[in-house]
Amino acid sequence: MENGYVILGIVALLFLCMYGYAYASVLLEKVQEKKALKIELKKEQLRLEEKAIKQKVRDEKMSQLNKRSEEIRLELEKLELKKKDQPVKKLKIS
């Protein structure tokens, strides 16, 4: 009878090991999926940060361009006013 319990224990241990081996592959797959998801989220976050930085640079360049455009427009207006204020000399053609 004692040998029966030993054999029954060995069979139970065998089935337990088979279950553990089968579940280990599923568990490993889940861990790999979580790791891949974390990596993907990090990449997405980095991409969004880079996009924000690039947008900030574009905005700065655009504001500089608009500022320069405004300066040029004001200079042109000043030149137009000077042109209007100067008397026109009439040339005598003989």
Q: Look-up: residue for tokens 């040339």?
A: 91
Q: Supply the pLDDT for residue 88.
A: 65
Q: Which two tokens stand for residue 8?
A: 């029954």
Smallest CA-to-CA distance from 45 within 17, 24, 53 is with 53
Q: Look-up: residue for tokens 């991409």?
A: 47
> Which residue ranges make up each domain of the chain?
44-79
Q: pLDDT (tens digit, 0 to 9) for every residue of the chain, 94 residues total?
A: 778 889 999 999 999 999 998 899 889 999 999 999 999 999 999 999 999 999 999 999 999 999 999 999 999 999 999 888 877 677 777 6
Say how far apart CA 6 and CA 13 lie, in whole Å: 10
